[in-house]
Amino acid sequence: MADKETVIGVETRVSGEIRGGEDLVVKGRVDGKIQLSHALTVEKGAVVQADVDVRSLVVSGTLVGNTVASESVRLLASARVVGDLASPRLIMEAGAAYRGRVDMGDIEAARAAVASRAAAKPAVGRTEVARESLAPSRVPPRVAAPPKTAVLAAKAAPRFVAPAGGEKSGETGPASPPAFPRVAGAVGAVAPPWAKKKVRRR
């Protein structure tokens, strides 16, 4: 901490708004908005999902959001950036991945555009915006998991369902039926091709 500098560490996540008058280094994760009169550095491994308004920007990590930099933007080789960039200077190293629109002309117009978009968002609520922006990155793993369990359930379900229906339907009737249709329904919707194929193979 020799110089004035703010660091968001590797294991730290900020969701909301960061603004101020000193350099900011993000090594962890920021979701929301970043507004600085100084430099922002998004380090390798860091993920920033935010609208950014800074003097200069250096990215070697991942940045998703619209950026206005009044001085310069530098995308290093390991940078992964999606979003519009507005800056009078742009340096992009070989290897940097970028998708978006670049405007090296009228920075003030770009800033106004970002500001007006940002002004429209808070009406929804900052936390909701933050949650929305979290959703895409968090959801995939959760979505990816169910199919596996569904497949497992497909393997297991036919064996369980048949005996339960035959032997205990009278006793456990009131409690269990609501549970089975759900499982059976999920299996039926997702996995019957798999289940059938495997049964046939065996």
Partner 1 sequence: MANTVIGSSIVVDGEISGEEPLVILGTVKGKVVAAGHVSVEAGATVEADIEGQNVTVGGKLTGNVTARERLELRPESKMIGNAKAPRIVVADGATFKGNVDMDV
Binding interface with partner 1 (CB under 8 A) = 1, 4-22, 24, 27-28, 32, 126-127, 130
Query: Given the complex with partner 1, which of 131 and 196 has the nearer CB atom?
Result: 131
What is the nearest approach in angstroms of partner 1 to the Cβ of residue 105? 30
Query: Can you read off the two tokens belonging to residue 188?
Result: 């039926």
Query: Given the complex with partner 1, which of 9 and 192 has the nearer CB atom?
Result: 9
What is the nearest approach in angstroms of partner 1 to the Cβ of residue 14? 5
DSSP string, 40-94: EEE-TT-EEEEEEEEEEEEESSEEES-EEEEEEEEE-TT-EEES-EE-S-EEE-T
Query: Can you read off the two tokens belonging to residue 34?
Result: 């970043």
Query: Given the complex with partner 1, which of 73 and 130 has the nearer CB atom?
Result: 130
What is the nearest approach in angstroms of partner 1 to the Cβ of residue 63? 18
Residue with tokens 């940002």: 118
Distances (CA, A) of 101 to 63, 83, 104, 152, 169: 14, 7, 10, 45, 62
Query: Given the complex with partner 1, which of 25 and 164 has the nearer CB atom?
Result: 25
What is the nearest approach in angstroms of partner 1 to the Cβ of residue 132? 14
The sign of the CA dihedral 135, 138, 141, 145 is: negative
Query: Given the complex with partner 1, which of 49 and 153 has the nearer CB atom?
Result: 49
What is the nearest approach in angstroms of partner 1 to the Cβ of residue 131? 11
